[in-house]
Chain A
Amino acid sequence: MSWVKNKMPEQEPQERRRNFSEVALGYAPDTAQSEAKRCLQCKTAPCRQGCPVGINIPEFIKHIKDGDFDSAIAEIKTKNNLPAVCGRVCPQEDQCEKYCVVGKRGEPVAIGRLERFAADQFRLSETKQPAQPAELNQGKVAIIGAGPAGLAAAGDLARLGYKVTVMEALHAPGGVLMYGIPEFRLPKEIVASEINELKELGVEIMVNAIVGKTFTIDELLNEEGYDSVFISTGAGLPHFLEIPGENLNGVYSANEFLTRVNLMKAYKYPAAGTPVHAGQNVAVVGAGNVAMDAARTALRLGAENVYIVYRRSEDEMPARAEEKEHAKEEGVQFRLLTNPMAIVGDDKGWVKGLECIRMELGEPDSSGRRKPIAIPSSNFVLDVDTVIMAIGQGPNPLVQQTTPGLEVDRRGNIKADENGQTSKEGVFAGGDIVTGAATVILAMGAGKKAALAIHEYIQKKKGC
């Protein structure tokens, strides 16, 4: 047996840095089977404890090894409604693959790539059958927000026999999968196709429905006849640094920049109606996954120089190692230990530079990370015409403000217990709106737990 993962083919960096096609190309069937053979089929399957939605990992891998791809995807789908998505974007190194026994001596089994393979085989198969909707007579549930948390809850509740309506503020469901994560990491066609499978289960998706505006939670419960509500509105409120010059033309939040490009397809402008300004020299402030996505997107729009500007060092960068590597290979330049002080504008109100100060690392702070300290008089101006702020997001307050009796914490996130129960009867919440910005699979896990709790709540209510 090999101690290393089978390689997944990728587009070459020089080629892919200027196109929006998917970077990773996926396993061919024989490679997938060869990778599946690396799995030891452990009885205890430690990998399973790392999966927030509890997929039976050795079981689906065994089906792939046997060449029975239909059974592999059927097994995955009992737990995960969006496997083609999760196989692509989950940080498996911190989840299932972290616990894999093979990983103790060599590289862990490529569980994520195998999940992706099974889902892609199924999606592209010509003989696939539409899912059979259950009889939806258990009650009515409204889900607010069609991101991974809401979609996971919707799928499980439909299977339990509930009539589910997902209300989504934007014109397309998917949440961050649709507007945030770029096409070259997660093709939008794949997101749409997995969401369509939920519709086959009988889930209704209502777009252009903004809860807090089009309806309030109290109206849904008291007037529209919903037995319960699940809030999964995500962490969509962009933060800015609050430094001088942030309102100059050419300054974007990562959310706006990515929404224009992904959801509105600005990379096809003028064939698509929404423009985006991608300059020649672009600074992206921040060093998480969102920053990597924004930087790689700017490159693909034609920028000559794209800089990641980050006040700490490479060790502290929150982005996944793989994202960082991809960005480097494509030519993104890292300006570390560099802190933005002000954005400099020209006389027409456009960005012409980013004034920064150099930093050095001091003693560890309360979080255990070494604190960046400014080096006096080390200011300099980075020559850029676009600045993208990727320094984090907070909770969108629309639902909280219009729902009396719903408790929030000091950061504005909704308070909920581990089953998603909030301070308000019949109202559950999960995903980024509860935890703050996290991951797709954690949001899905929260959605699944809440679906069970909602089921219990409604059955109990019907009982008395």
Chain B
Amino acid sequence: MYTIVYSEELAPSVKLFHVQAPLIAKKCQPGQFVIVRMDDEGERIPLTIADFDREKGTITLIFQEVGHSTRQMGSLKQGDQFLDVAGPLGKATHIEKFGTVVCIGGGIGVAPVYPIARAYKEAGNKVISIIGARNKDLLILEKEMAAVSDVFHITTDDGSKGRKGLVIDPLKELIEAGEEIAVVMAIGPVVMMRSVAEVTRPYSIHTIVSLNPIMVDGTGMCGGCRVSVANENKFACVDGPEFDAHEVDFAGLMARQRMYHHHEKQERPQGGSCKCHG
């Protein structure tokens, strides 16, 4: 069992947990994820390792309540437990001193970007960060991101904090101003990642995105997470989740993410307390 030793609400329906998982905390690297399962009837849900404390043996998970499982997860409190936490999964981010890197996080995507930005910084890069959300209440990890960035931008769709607009606006300006960018790392909703890819493509700036297809096992045995990259099928859980943004079939990814939409609308027991199905 994996105990939640700390919990915090970062934004409406966005929660942070510190989870006791010493074997994972010892090994994990930025860019990796875990699969969690709440109880015996539960789904296996992939979540990025947003931070870790090797000494305390904890990992940090940050998640948004978007559907049945994440809502049920949101009802867990400090002291509650996950039945299963497996990992660390996926390939770690390739970190070295590149020069200038731009780290872009959209919405909940700021959570996975944070440990990567920190590692880039520790490796001696100039880190320019851009984080964005629909409005100021949905912004997460501002202080943390600011602390690991040389230059820091905030955008909101409605202008309630930072500048009004999208995360690609500051990126475009940086490129137009002639900033020598070695790598762009972008994580967030697929539409956001796709638009970042379109901004950098004409300039051939190496751009990396972290994909979030639907997963089951997360260890390479089902192929449910397959995505087409450079016209070849890859399993995001073992070959990724990070890929070259200029090679990803984003339209295919978006279509596959909707595979269970009609199921999710079905009538389901709400919250985590219903045990009537026994």
Contacts and interface: CB of A to CB of B under 8 A. Distances in A.
Nearest to A258: B222
B222 A255 contact: yes
A253 B277 CA distance: 29
Contacts of B269: 270-271
Contact of A249 (B89, B256, B266): B256
Nearest to A349: B255
A236 B220 CA distance: 8
A169 interface: yes
Contacts of B238: 398
B10 to A, nearest CB: 24
B258 interface: yes
Contact of A246 (B220, B233, B249): B233
B44 A274 contact: yes
B11 interface: no
Interface stretch (A105-113, A133-141, A259-267): A259-267
Interface stretch (A205-213, A294-302, A419-427): A205-213
A272 interface: yes
A238 interface: yes
B157 interface: no
Contacts of A213: 27, 87-89
B141 interface: no
B265 to A, nearest CB: 11
A275 B69 CA distance: 12
Interface residues of B, number: 44
A271 B277 CA distance: 6
A43 interface: no
A169 to B, nearest CB: 5
B84 A214 contact: no
Nearest to B253: A247
B43 interface: yes
A48 B88 CA distance: 45
B224 interface: yes
A215 B27 CA distance: 8
A380 interface: no
Nearest to B252: A247
A247 B226 contact: yes
B71 to A, nearest CB: 11
B221 A237 contact: yes
Contacts of B221: 236-238, 255, 259, 396
Contact of A170 (B69, B217, B249): B217
A87 B255 CA distance: 44
B216 A264 contact: yes
Interface in B240-262: 249, 252, 255-256, 258-260
Interface string B218-229: 011111101110
B143 interface: no
A237 B267 contact: no
A398 B267 CA distance: 39
B27 A240 contact: no
A273 interface: yes
Contact of B216 (A209, A210, A240, A260): A260
A3 interface: no
Contact of B41 (A214, A256, A259, A272): A272
Contact of B37 (A171, A240, A247, A252): A171
B86 A264 contact: no
B260 A277 contact: yes
A214 B268 CA distance: 34
Contacts of A237: 220-221
Contacts of B84: 171, 207-208
B222 A270 contact: no
A245 to B, nearest CB: 11
Nearest to A256: B222
A236 B217 CA distance: 11
Contacts of A240: 223, 226, 233
Nearest to A172: B84
A269 B216 contact: no
B233 A273 contact: no
A14 B70 CA distance: 40
A170 B219 CA distance: 9
Interface in A206-260: 207-210, 213-215, 236-238, 240, 242, 246-250, 252-253, 255-256, 259-260
B168 interface: no
Given A240-B223, A275-B263, A169 B86 contact: yes
A211 to B, nearest CB: 10
Interface in B34-88: 37, 41-44, 68-69, 83-88
Interface string A392-434: 0000111000000000000000000000000000000000000
A397 B89 CA distance: 14
A214 B90 CA distance: 11
Contacts of A242: 233
B89 A210 contact: yes
Contacts of B68: 270, 273
A207 B37 CA distance: 12
Contacts of A397: 220
B219 A259 contact: no
Nearest to A260: B216
B2 to A, nearest CB: 9
Contacts of B219: 169-170, 210, 396, 398
Contacts of B222: 238, 253, 255-256, 259
Contacts of B277: 268, 271
A273 B263 contact: no
B86 A255 contact: no
Contacts of A208: 84-87
B27 to A, nearest CB: 6
B43 A253 contact: no
Contacts of A259: 216-217, 221-222
23 contacts: A169-B86, A207-B86, A208-B84, A208-B87, A209-B23, A209-B86, A214-B24, A214-B87, A215-B23, A247-B227, A247-B228, A247-B249, A253-B222, A255-B221, A256-B222, A259-B216, A260-B216, A264-B43, A265-B41, A277-B260, A349-B256, A349-B258, A398-B238
Interface of A: 169-171, 207-210, 213-215, 236-238, 240, 242, 246-250, 252-253, 255-256, 259-260, 264-265, 268-275, 277, 348-349, 396-398
Given A256-B223, A259-B217, A277-B259, 17 more contacts: A170-B219, A208-B85, A210-B89, A214-B23, A246-B233, A247-B226, A247-B233, A249-B259, A250-B259, A253-B222, A256-B216, A259-B221, A259-B222, A270-B267, A275-B260, A349-B258, A398-B219
Leading 3 A-B pairs by shortest Cβ distance: A349-B255, A256-B222, A271-B277
